[in-house]
Every structure is written in structure tokens, then in C-alpha cells.
Amino acid sequence: MYEDRARNDRRAAPDNQGTIPFWQMTGTRPATLHRMDTITLTRPDDWHLHLRDGEVLQHVVPWSAERFARAIIMPNLVPPVTTTEAAAAYRERILAARPAGSGFQPLMTLYLTDNTAPTEIERAVASGIIHAVKLYPAGATTNSDSGVTDIERCHDTLEAMAEQGLNLCIHGEVTHADTDIFDREKRFLNEILGPLLERHPRLRVVLEHLTTAEAVDFVRNGPERLGATITPQHLLMNRNHLLAGGIRPHYYCLPILKRERDREALLEAATSGHPRYFLGTDSAPHARGDKESACGCAGIFTAPLAIELYAEAFAEAGALARLEGFASHHGADFYGLPRNTDTITLVRKPREIPALMPYGGQEIVPLRAGDSVDWTLA
């Protein structure tokens, strides 16, 4: 019964009747759309990914390597990746977990703390392997305890980043206990992000995993040096999926799923063709027992079906022709990296997702476990 409900309402889609596919509006069908049910696109990149560490790498890395050419690797390990040296060692462990022959490239990040020195930024840039620094407000999410307690402490380091052109990726939520969890992103925009962008007029910022209509507008109205990632779960689900008719721990992530109006605004932004919105899955694996718990961890494991989920969302919006820009062009352009040259092909053919997958010595429940996704990687 529980499973049936989850199945039936996971696509509580908005009313899309009357939406005209982009290629029909323009009158010419782009070369990328062979038929309505096959799409070939430049190989995408994932601009926000958690791979964890140790023996689980072998179970997590291959899913992303199969789909994406590159990924921005989040540094919220225990202990966090705060130095270039630690990032270089972590990168080697990720490379070693790739399937044979894979060219998947982990783009490393540093975890910003109150004490990250400007000299560490110089080392990071000189290394050539660090592509961003991640700001977690302390206490905002999984393994953020060493994060920033007061942004005032980071200005010299942020200025060094601005000078060197190193991107700042932000988990954009305030953390005060008295702020409602559904309002934490909205309040971050005007209270922290606005002043931060003004104080550092050359700093390049990626606002990670947008979840609200307000964040969509903030980015659209923001400067050219402000980009944003959007996850598949926030394009496909709202808070009813998480909470109505039973609490579903595998739909719990941070920032938390919001209202249907927010989901609609995110889908509109992602499918708009606007170059500063791009793909970042925020695939965040946690062992089953850590999710199905009285105090379950935040994070949704989407890596095994990530690009397929985005294809579902774009198909729902009648915007498959815009998937390539969002998934494969905008992020690379924003990070100043070359676009990939090979391609992937997705076929509109349902694929069953196993109820459980191996995760080190434990097991993990991916999104759509025991259910299916509409698209299959050819």
C-alpha cells in the first residue's frame, strides 16, 4: 500500500496540456532529437556530487562515471577536505574507483572553514585540480559542523578567491534554530548572499541546489558571475511527496523539498535555456539504516539514474531540446572549462531500479527503488 502510493503520486505533475515542444515552436527539429523517444546530447557534467570515501567509492563512482564526463566533488567528508593536499589524495582514491577505461574526471573542491587561509587558495589554484571552494554554513546539513560560523571571518580568503578566479559554491540556507526549515533558503538570499555579492564584486558564486521560486528569481536577477545548480528531485517532487500519506525518508534532503509552486518555478528555470542554471545532482548516498531511522540523514542517492531523471523532468515540460544546454553546456561555460566532445544517447524505455544496491558492506536505497525511470541510457 505504502509502495503503491509512492508509485502513483511520484509524478504529481503540473498541468502541461498545451505546452508546445521547443522544436515545434521553432519549426525545425534540432538534430539532437532523432525521434520523440530518443535523444543524443553532448556528454553531461555533474556540478554537485557527493561520492563519500573508502570502500563505498567502488559502488558509487561507476554510476556517475557511466553518465557524466566530470563532476564537482563535494568535500564534506569526515574529516572535511580542507587542504589541497587532502583533496589531491581524495582525488587519487576516486580515480582508482573508476571502472576500467573510464575517463571520468573528479573536479575537486575545498571545504571552507573560519580558518581557511588565503595562502591555501593560492595552493589550490596552483594545483590545477581544485575548481571551487564550498561554503557550508555551520550546522546547515550533513557534515557541516566544521563549516563557517560567521562569514565575516572569511573575507580575506574570499577576496583571494575573487582575485584568482576560483568559484565559491554555496549551500544557501541560514541556520538559526528559530528560522523555519522551509524559510531557510529564502532568508539566506537577502541576509547573506546579497551582501556577500556586494562585498566581493568580482567573486564568482554558484548557489547550489535551488529549491524555491525566490532563489530562481534571485539568480535570474543577479549578476553574470552568479550561477546555480538544480537537482532532479527538486524538479520532480514537492513536499507532499515527502510528507503526505506517510513520511518517506528516502525523499528527505537539504534544502528540503518545497511547495509545488517552487517546483514549477525550478522546472521553468531549468528548461528556459538561461545559461546560468545548470545540472548538479547533489546525489548524496547514505546507508539504508542511516536513512530509515528515528533521526534520518539528509541526502538522496540519484547517481544510478541521474541524467534519466532530468530527461523525465524536461520531457514533462515539453523541453527535451533544452536538456543539452542545461546538462552539458551551461556548467562548463560558467566554470570556464571546455565543453565535452563525446555524446550520450537516452531512449524513452522504462528501466527498473533495484530495491537495494550494495554500499560497501551495507546497502543503499536509490531514488525510485523497486520502481522505474522512464529513460534508459543507450
Cell numbers representing residue 145 in the block: 559542523
Query: What's the grid cell of residue 4?
Result: 503503491
271: which 3 cell numbers?
528548461
Helix or strand holding residue 65 (H, E): helix 57-67
Q: Which is nearer to Zn ion, 282 or 324 (CB)?
A: 282
- State yes or no: residue 76 binds ligand NCD (CB under 6 A): yes
Of these residues, 45, 46, 262, 282, which one is catalytic? 282
Residues pairing with 110 in the sheet: 133
Measure the CA–CA gap between 249 and 87, rounded to whole angstroms: 31
Task: Identify whether 282 is a catalytic site residue.
Answer: yes
Burial code (b: 16+ CB inside 10 Å, e: under 16) for 260-295 equals: eebbbbbbbbbbbebebbbbbbbbbbbbbebbeeee
Piece in contact with Zn ion (CB under 5 A), picked from 10-18, 52-60, 190-198, 275-283 = 275-283
Among positions 291-310, residues that touch ligand NCD (CB under 6 A) are 298-299
Binding residues among 261-290 for ligand NCD as defined by CB under 6 A = 282, 284
Among 45, 46, 185, 282, interactor with Zn ion by CB under 5 A? 282
Q: Which is nearer to ligand NCD, 110 or 284 (CB)?
A: 284
Residue 214 lies near ligand NCD (rule: CB under 6 A): no
Q: What are phi and psi of 155, to 5 degrees?
A: -60, -40
In the complex, what is the shortest distance from the CB of residue 86 to ligand NCD, in angstroms, rounded to a whole number? 17
Complex with ligand NCD: residue 301 or 375, whichever CB lies closer:
301
Nearer Cβ to ligand NCD (78/96): 78
Q: How many residues bind ligand NCD (CB under 6 A)?
A: 11
Could you give the string, one character per residue 234-253, with x where binding to ligand NCD holds by CB under 6 A and - elsewhere?
-------------------x
By CB under 5 A, is residue 120 in contact with Zn ion? no
CB under 8 A, 24+ apart: contacts of 29-35: 30/321, 32/321, 32/324, 33/320, 33/321
**324 touches Zn ion (CB under 5 A):** no
Read out DSSP for 311-346? HHHHHHTT-GGGHHIIIIIHHHHHHT-PPP-SEEEE
The partner in contact with residue 142, picked from ligand NCD, Zn ion, none with C-beta cut-offs of 5 to 8 angstroms by kind, is ligand NCD
- The CA-atom distances, in angstroms, between 37 and each of 13, 17, 325, 348, 351 are 19, 19, 18, 5, 14
Structural contact between residues 44 and 68, judged by C-beta atoms closer than 8 angstroms = yes
User: Phi then psi for 85, rounded to 5 degrees?
Assistant: -60, -45
Q: Which does 186 bind (CB under 5 to 8 A by kind): ligand NCD, Zn ion, none?
A: none
75 near ligand NCD, judged by CB under 6 A: no
46 contacts ligand NCD (rule: CB under 6 A): no
Residue 374 interacts with Zn ion (CB under 5 A): yes or no: no
The C-alpha cell that represents 312 in the structure block: 523525465
User: Which stretch in 58-66, 278-286, 346-354, 358-366 sits in contact with Zn ion by CB under 5 A?
Assistant: 278-286
115 to 174, contacts with ligand NCD by CB under 6 A? 141-142, 171
Give how far Cα 111 sits from Cα of 115, 137, 146, 258, 344, Å: 11, 11, 9, 27, 32
Instruction: Check binding of 173 to Zn ion (CB under 5 A).
Output: no
Residues that bind ligand NCD (CB under 6 A): 50, 76, 141-142, 171, 253-254, 282, 284, 298-299
Catalytic residues: 282
